[in-house]
Amino acid sequence: MLSGRILTPEGWITGSIAFDSDSGRILHIREDHGVDATLTILPGFIDLHVHGAAGVDIMQGGDAGATVARAHAKHGTTAMLGTTMTATDNSIRRALRGLAPVIAERPAGGARMLGVHLEGPFLSIHRLGAQPADAIAVGSMDLVRSYHELAPIRAMTLATEVADHLALIPQLNELGIRVQIGHSNGTYEDGVAALEAGAAGFTHLFNGMTGLNHYKPGIVGAALAHAEYAEIIPDLQHVAPGAIRAALRAIPRLYGVTDATSATGMPDGEYGLGSQRVYKCLGCVRLATGSLAGSVLTMDQALRNFVGLGLELADASHRLSLYPADYLGETERGRLAPGGWADIVVLNADLQPVAVFVEGEAIDLSTN
């Protein structure tokens, strides 16, 4: 049983939360003003865009997914999507085969891997960011289905203006895949058309897409004008604070992701991001060209950054737990309620995690 100030779906209460470690489910939440309210108890974070951590990249395949899940759990992430990079067909299949057993069975001490975010290879050659140009491909349902059979794809980044990608959106939705507009050189009209066709969100808003201009609103303009959901990287390096604030006012369920790379939790130096070499220095990750290439953000730092931008703690929590859960249709995660999964992060007054529970399992926070 845990006691403190608890964020429930109905709002804040002071009291206790009890869960069954065997079933991994929350038993009850009870109000009790007599308990010590020093600690804050929030739903565990849900990160829908994670490439790596602890020196390991999802594209390596094998047990990389388990290592990444364990590393992020120490920072309060209780569920996540393993995210691929644009790569050769063989490399993508290797990564998916590696993720499949981690998705099927949560690794001890790790976050729940809910599925795959396929970020590429169906992107625009003009908006690659850190994605390698030599592996860009045109999407087809046959290819997507073959990937989906290896490991469940829950979200896919798509440059919807390329080739016949727009026509794929309803078929991808039928497979249960949330289509996200991203790495796109499309116009505002292209973005609106994709939303009308069933696209659900935007990948790392502002990054890897046509920007907002008052004559040419671009993909960013389509997101700000029409989106219900979009992901954003709140590391304060990918997007300036003022732009984050603008997006917060425009997009009701803007949610934070880390876009974390293998350099997360590691010292400065050279690391892998798919087939690319990236360099961690001064708290960010860049290609040799100087372009940003993912991040070293963790979700607990994302929470602190959101609060530092002026968000109320409950609002910041929703954008890292409730909204990403709802985006994927995960009704038993992202909120603390009886019967739901006991995915819990306990924070001190500085919003630093002092305890994390994934499906009722206590995570060892003693090492990075």
Q: What is the pLDDT of residues 117-130, one digit of tens each?
A: 999 899 999 998 88
Q: CATH assignment of 44-330? A: 3.20.20.140
Separation CA 357–CA 286 (nearest Å): 33
Q: Write down the residue that tokens 């934070």 correspond to.
A: 256
Tens-digit pLDDT profile for residues 36-94: 899 999 999 999 999 999 999 999 999 999 999 999 999 999 999 999 999 999 999 99
Instruction: Cite the DSSP H helix spans in the chain.
Output: 64-73, 89-104, 141-150, 165-174, 188-197, 218-226, 241-250, 299-308, 313-318, 322-328
Under the banding of pLDDT at 50, 70 and 90, the label for residue 275 is confident
pLDDT of 13 higher than 90: yes
Structure tokens at 81: 């999507």
259 is catalytic: yes
pTM: 0.97
- The domain segmentation of the chain, as residue ranges, is 44-330
CB 301 within 8 A of CB 155: no
From 47, 259, 300, 326, active-site residue: 259
- Of residues 274 and 91, the one with the higher pLDDT is 91
- Geometric angle at alpha carbon 83, from 88 and 246, rounded to 5°: 120
Average pLDDT value for residue range 250-261: 98
- What is the pLDDT at residue 222? 98
Q: Which residues are annotated binding-site positions for Zn(2+)?
A: 119, 183, 204
- Residue 202: closest CA among 231, 173, 226, 243: 231
- What is the pLDDT at residue 290? 86
CB 253 within 8 A of CB 322: no
Contacts for 329 with CB less than 8 Å, ≥ 6 apart: none
- What is the pLDDT at residue 368? 56
pLDDT of 105 higher than 70: yes
Lowest mean pLDDT across 121-130, 166-175, 210-219, 356-365:
121-130
